[in-house]
Structure 1
Amino acid sequence: MAKTSPVYARIDTDLKENAENILHRLGISPSSAIQMLYSQIILTKSFPISLKLPYDKPKALGSMSHDELNAELSKGYESIQSGHAYTADEVDAMLDDAFGI
């Protein structure tokens, strides 16, 4: 068995809880995440890790609740009011990039 040493770090409680929730969803323990980080630092001689959860697929209109639909429509209206608008081609390109659709 490999010889191990403890690593102690003081971090913000919310940051720790949020990160550990994501690690749990990825199936990675906090200790494994630290070991992965240290291994990659040695291998690349840099700070290289880019782990992230996959994007959720966009919801179909029919699967949204009334409140969810209103919230999305409000965001769109506020975006238009603030001058942020996209052409249909731009939206298609963004959906293709983000979700492959």
Structure 2
Amino acid sequence: MSIYVGNLSYEVTQDDLTQTFSEYGTVKRVQLPTDRETGRLRGFAFVEMATEAEEAAAIEKLDGAEWMGRDLKVNKAKPREDRGSSGGGSWGNKGGSSRRY
């Protein structure tokens, strides 16, 4: 399991997050997702700690804390949901009439 960290500055680095979260235990991994098209940071991250106790301590201390000019949103990350296909309806009918002429 990992920690979701939201409302991050777009200037944050993996080293910044590692340093801050290491105050609460061992940081195993930091992920900073980027936008596929622009390559810019998306304003959130995922941090994995060595134990659940360390995760809980980091969440308790950092959720709502002001850091790099922003109020952090820190909580347990939720499992990624399967979004499935984005289309509705059948393959052959793209929103038009299904009548044949």
Q: TM-score, normalised by structure 2?
A: 0.22
- Which one has a bigger Cα radius of gyration? 1
What's the TM-score, normalizing by structure 1? 0.22
Question: Higher relative contact order by CA 8 Å / sep ≥ 6: 1 or 2?
Answer: 2
Give the number of the structure whose residues are more often helix, by fraction.
Answer: 1
Higher strand share: 2
